Amino acid sequence: MITKDYIIEITTQLYLKNGVKAVTIADITKELSTSKRTIYNHFIDKTDLMQACIERYLAGIRSNNDEIINNCSSAIEAMGIIQQQILKRADYSNAHFYKDILRYFPSVLKDSYEKNSEFAFRELLYLAKWGVKDGLFRKDLDPEVTMATVQTLLKLCNNTKVFPSAQFSKARLTEGIMVVYLRGLCTEKGLLEVEKQKHLYLT
């Protein structure tokens, strides 16, 4: 029996691989070896299915980030591993995944994306305060301004229009953007931790 969860799982994989516009209901039913009726038993239309896929995908990212933070020994280590995950997702996701949704189904992405951005900011804010508490980050930093800047810099690392991938490797961008900024936040103790964890930002 093909479940709703399985439909979401397989459809999300197709969207990430091919982009949203390129994937039709016929493509989904072929991948699932089922009929359109099975899809429409669980979803009103393609937009409804897409919404479910986006929400599941973003929820998976949030869960993964929580797990990373809970298993790391420092805020700097956690930020490095989260950065790795962001770059990996950018590498295996079709460039049209978000572009298609923004262009053809903007209302579908808006609510989910805003919620995810709010979650990401709260998460970064937690990391900033954790770093200050452990003496890794300077006590005089403004956590909200600092982590809003980090969010912007992370997006910049993935902006291929500003930094064409043929010219700028992910390691080069991370070193030049994220690591340099991170050093500016750090105490002497934090700088030692950055050097210890630097490999996480460059792989």
The C-alpha atoms of residue 3 and residue 55 are separated, in whole angstroms, by: 17
**98's tokens:** 């978000």
> What is the average pLDDT across 29-47?
94
> What is the average pLDDT across 81-110?
79
Tell me, what's the pLDDT at 58? Answer: 87
Long-range pairs for 140-146: beta carbons < 8 A, 24 or more residues apart: 141/185, 146/185
Residue type, 40: Y
> CA geometry: angle at 95 spanning 89 and 99, to 5°?
115
pLDDT category of residue 55 using cuts at 50, 70 and 90 = confident
21-32 per-position pLDDT tens digit: 899 999 999 999
- Give me the CATH number covering residue 182: 1.10.357.10
Q: Which has the minimum average pLDDT: 46-55, 64-73, 86-95?
A: 86-95
State the DSSP string of 46-61: HHHHHHHHHHHHHHHH
What ranges in 33-186 are assigned the alpha helix state H? 36-42, 46-71, 75-92, 96-104, 106-133, 143-157, 170-173, 180-185
> What is the average pLDDT across 41-48?
93
Q: Look at the pTM and tell me if it is higher than 0.95.
A: no
Examine the pLDDT at 130 and tell me if it is beyond 90: yes
Instruction: Tell me how far the alpha carbon of residue 123 is from its chain's centroid.
Output: 12
- Structural domain count of the chain: 1
Tell me, what's the pLDDT at 118? Answer: 84
Q: Which residue segment(s) compose the domain that 32 sits in?
A: 4-201
Mean pLDDT score across all residues of the chain: 89
> CA geometry: angle at 82 spanning 19 and 103, to 5°?
25
132-182 per-position pLDDT tens digit: 999 999 999 999 999 889 889 988 887 888 999 889 988 888 889 999 999
Examine the pLDDT at 111 and tell me if it is beyond 80: no
> What is the average pLDDT across 117-124?
87
Q: Is the dihedral of CA 189, 65, 124, 166 positive or negative?
A: positive
